Amino acid sequence: MDTAARARITSWCSLLLFLGLSFAQNAAEGEAGTLDVGVILNMRSLLGKMSRTSILMAMEDFYAVHHRDHATRLVLHVRDSNGGGNIQAASAAIDLLENHHVQAIIGPEKSAEATFVSDIGNNSQVPVISFTATNPALSSAHVPYFLRATLSDAAQVNSIAALIKAFGWREVVPIYEDTDYGRGIIPYLVDALQEFGASMPYRSVISQSASSDQVEQELYKLMTMQTRVYIVHMLPTTGSILFKKAKEIGMMTEAYVWILTDGIANIVNSLSPSILDAMDGALGVRFHVPISKALDDFTVRWNKRYRKDYPDDSLSQLSIYGLWGYDAVWALALAAAKVSMTRPTFQKQQKYRKNSTFVGTLGVSTVGPKLLDAILQCKFRGLSGDFDLRNRQLQFSTFQIINVVRRESKEIGYWTAKQGIFRNLNQDVSAHTYLHPMPDLNPVVWPGQTHIVPKGWQIPTNGKKLRVGVRTSGYSEFMKVERDPVTNAITATGYAIDVFEEAIKKLPYAVPYEYVSFDALGVNYRSYNDFVYQVPLGVYDAAIGDITIRHNRTSYADFTLPYTESGIAMIVPVKDNTNKNTWIFLKPLTGDLWFASIVFLIYTGIVIWLLERRIRNAELTGSFFRQLGIAIYFSFFADSEW
Ligand SMILES: *[C@@H]1O[C@H](CO)[C@@H](O)[C@H](O)[C@H]1NC(C)=O
Ligand SMILES: *[C@@H]1O[C@H](CO)[C@@H](O)[C@H](O)[C@H]1NC(C)=O
Ligand SMILES: *[C@@H]1O[C@H](CO)[C@@H](O)[C@H](O)[C@H]1NC(C)=O
């Protein structure tokens, strides 16, 4: 990048910088006008080497532009954590704080290391800026001194979920490495998938130190399960082993879906051709870097510089981590210029004065809080896009969806939180409709070089196909079976076959099948009864044809619903069974009810007769039948004079 381009980078930070270009490694305590910065990288990893080149170039570029300003300069102290893990990174941090009194730390590479180093930094009020540690759990209000100049892994889960939703997959299996980095994304992924009802029937954890045999075992296990959509969340080293094995045992073929998180997708261009071959057909999401002239210039210079620094490593290409490393140093240099740094010192912490615990003796940076504020307020347009750490981590804008095809990453679309998935950055998204069931993306080449979207689900038959019995019908429109005399391959055609194949296509998962000819069994086998009977015998898994559903056949085979009329009808006389009796309304009045009614009638009459008799004694005399008649009369017209 030329000086003019660099100068165009807008900055909200005031720039007051000291003169001088030297890249001193001396570390006199609190030397006026300098800010000691520790850098912890793993020089054995691709990321470490890439970052080192970027960071050194950032220093040179920054002070080439700002050499006339009188302000605090950064002095870098680079430490190699040597892939030694958390303890190595932590001890590098302690060494930097204790012996060089660094006021800020850049790095370390891994999330687990960052957990240690950020605690140490926080304890001494020294900002720790990592541009590679992506575990979402690292950002916490309790560790204000940890800044993430990269995206949290939680940022990408929605784009992955959108992709899974768009292609209509219902189940996914995450394959992740057993590290802080690997595990960190899982809860967020579960949440994002749950939002549209997709589930995670299994989680495949692969130890960071797994041998390729162990990886193979795990992959075979996945093969026996039904889900065929895998989300791979790993660093490239573990990922390379995984994909090579997957390719070897036939999991990079049709019906399989592999989705890479940005851990691999971000640096896919630097992977070796053999690994890219193994990954062929995989999808991935990664941070989208806006194209700019500054970026193009920088890429050219970076490539030249990197080849010079690491002549053995000719494959590596500049990745987003290199840009974030560059921008992080740039931000720190801007922040340092803003903070007046006359004699930054370390104060011994009061509470630890008498205690000589290791960390307790480190002291507290006096400029720490001011420096932290300055970094948080620093906002500028960097190589990676808008660089803004206000929320203690970078904010994402757009994700790019890529497809690994023929050793290259092909861009197939984009994702933003607002617009979801779309094909082109410049397209008018308001005109975007969801009429099409397929997502609006460039065509994807899936594993196995196919263009058909995998169903994401397969009955794990382990090579065994569904054996479907077929026979030539008396009506060849229904079914005609032919055998190729050379290859012995069986082709079946006809209406029954069309219905079957259409039904198979409608299934939400893939069922591999093959046709087996019944005609081949010989002349002794002619009847449809025998044909159907091959199913319970286990010769066929299913039989198709113009088979009539008869009662005795249903007792040993299950039939689909009939898909055509049999053409057979039955004529039977109708026996009119309707009861035309006029007295049908009397039906509910049963004998018991009639009897009870009469008994109550007489009973009521007698009661009234007895009462009436007391008043009109003379009138109620005469023969017994007359009395009974009067009593019954009373039960109807008790009140009348008669
Ligand atoms: C980090 O530092 C801040 C301020 O110095 C302090 O309040 C907080 O408790 C520290 N967090 C941890 C985990 O030590
Ligand atoms: C020293 O550490 C012990 C525990 O390790 C603690 O109880 C004690 O208060 C500390 N002393 C001082 C002066 O902070
Ligand atoms: C079903 O019935 C047919 C004739 O109606 C008979 O030929 C056939 O053997 C029967 N099949 C079985 C399994 O009973």
Strand bridging mode 104-106 / 73-80: unpaired
pLDDT band at 358 (very low <50, low <70, confident <90, very high): low
Take residue 510 and report the two structure tokens written for it. 């893939």
User: Could you say which DSSP state residue 11 is in?
Assistant: B
pLDDT of residue 69 exceeding 80: no
Q: Which residue matches tokens 């609006």?
A: 440
Atom of ligand 3 nearest to the CA of 552: 1
Number of neighbours of residue 592 by Cβ within 10 angstroms: 8
| d(CA 122, ligand 1 centre) in Å | 6
Q: What is the pLDDT of residues 416-456, one digit of tens each?
A: 988 888 888 876 655 555 544 567 889 999 999 999 999 88
Q: What is the pLDDT of residues 321-343, one digit of tens each?
A: 999 999 999 999 999 888 866 66
Which residue has the CA at smallest separation from atom 9 of ligand 1? Answer: 142
Q: Name the more confident of 223 and 23.
A: 223
Q: What is the pLDDT of residues 165-186, one digit of tens each?
A: 999 898 999 999 999 899 999 9
Q: How many residues does the chain have?
A: 642
pLDDT of residue 586 exceeding 60: yes
Average pLDDT of the chain to the nearest whole number: 83
Q: What is the pLDDT of residues 550-576, one digit of tens each?
A: 888 888 888 888 877 766 667 777 766
**With a 6 A CB cut-off, is 122 part of the ligand 1 pocket?**
yes
| d(CA 76, ligand 1 centre) in Å | 25
Contact 249, 223 (CB under 8 A): yes
Contact 22, 80 (CB under 8 A): no
| Class of residue 101 by CB neighbours under 10 A (exposed 0-12, middle 13-18, buried 19+) | buried
> Counting ligands in written order, which one lies closest to the CA of residue 530?
3
pLDDT of residue 350 exceeding 70: no
User: Could you say which DSSP state residue 384 is in?
Assistant: T
Distance of CA 61 to the CA centre of its chain: 40
Strand bridging mode 364-365 / 346-347: antiparallel
State the DSSP string of 397-444.
Answer: -EEEEEEEETTEEEEEEEEETTTEEES-TTS-GGG----SSS-S-PPP
Entry pTM: 0.69
> Counting ligands in written order, which one lies closest to the CA of residue 355?
2
Cα–Cα distance for residue pair 597/591, rounded to 1 Å: 10
Which residue has the CA at smallest separation from atom 10 of ligand 2? Answer: 355
